Amino acid sequence: MSTPHPVITIDGPAASGKSSIARLVAQRLGFTYVNTGNMYRAVTWAVLQAGVDPQDAEAVRSATSSILIESPVVEGQTQVCIAGHSLTDADLNSDPVNRAVSFIARLNEVRERLVAEQRVLVLLGPLVMEGRDIGSVVFPQSPHKIYIDASEEVRASRRGAQGHADQIAERDRLDKQRKNSPLIVPAGATVIDNSYITLDQAVEQVIAALKL
C-alpha cells in the first residue's frame, strides 16, 4: 500500500536526538514534522488529569476510549490538542508524564487509536514522522526509513541537560520489551549512531541516506 505523499520515518530510543534531527530534516525539505511521542504523552496527560492510575489498564482503556485527539499544523509541525485544549511542552514533558507514558503506550487500544491517527496525517502532505514504531508498524512500506541510536551514557546526559531526570533506561526497557510494536530497527532502515557527531552532521547523514 503506497501513500499519497512521501513519509520519512525516524525511530530510535529516548533522548537519542531524533526529535532535533527530525525537526531540522523536515525544515530542510519543507515537509511537515510529526512527533508521535507527543501523541502518547498527550493521552498520558489526559489520563493523569482524569485522576486515573496509569498502571490500571482497564481504567485507562475506559478513560481514553472517547478522548478527542487533534493534530493541527502550526509552523510546519503538528501540535497535540485533547478535547480542544492545546498542550504545551511543559504539559507533555512533566515528570508524572515521563514516568507514566510507557505504561500507557503499551496498551493495544491506545496504540491502535494513535496509529490510525498517524496514518491519516499523510493526507496533509509530505511528512517527517518520528517515534518508536513508525518504520516498523505505522508506515512499513515507506522506502525512507532512518533509525537514530546513541549510547546509554550519552542519552542519559542529554536528557539531564534538558532538565529532565527521568529514567530513560527503564523507559527503553519497557518500550523494547512490550508485546505490541516494540522498539526495533525497522527492516530496511539506515542506522545512524548519533553518540559523537554534531546535530548538523546527523542531519546531513539523514539527508544523504534518503533517495527522494
Which residues contact residue 61 at a Cβ distance below 8 angstroms, ignoring those fewer than 6 apart? 107, 109
- Residue 171 Cβ, how far from ligand DC at the closest point, in Å? 5
Side chain identity, residue 124: L
158 binds ligand DC (CB under 6 A): no
Residues 93-132 that bind ligand DC (CB under 6 A): 101-102, 105, 131-132
Q: Which is nearer to ligand DC, 25 or 134 (CB)?
A: 134
Total residues contacting ligand DC (rule CB under 6 A)?
A: 14
- 127-131 and 32-35 strand pairing: parallel
Query: Mask: binding to ligand DC, 51-90, rule CB under 6 A, as x and -?
Result: ----------------------------------------
When the beta carbons of 174 and 197 are compared against ligand DC, the nearer one is 174
**CA neighbours within 13 Å on the CB side: how many for 25?**
34
* Cβ 33 to ligand DC shortest distance, Å: 13
Q: List phi, psi (to 5°) of 129.
A: -120, 125
Q: State whether the Cα torsion 160-17-184-104 is positive or negative.
A: positive
CA distance 24 to 14: 18
Interaction of residue 139 with ligand DC, rule CB under 6 A? no
For ligand DC, give the closer residue by CB, 31 or 40.
40
Q: Give the cell for residue 101.
A: 507514558
Backbone angles phi, psi at 87, to 5 degrees: -85, 140
Q: Which stretch binds ligand DC (CB under 6 A): 37-45, 51-59, 119-127, 155-163?
A: 37-45
Contacts of 117 (CB under 8 A, 6+ apart): 39, 69, 71
CB of 102 to ligand DC, least distance (A): 4
d(CA 110, CA 178): 13
Task: Point out which span in 2-10, 34-42, 52-60, 191-199 binds ligand DC (CB under 6 A).
Answer: 34-42
Choice between 63 and 105, CB closer to ligand DC: 105
User: Under the rule (CB under 6 A), what is the footprint of ligand DC?
Assistant: 14, 36-37, 40-41, 101-102, 105, 131-134, 171, 175
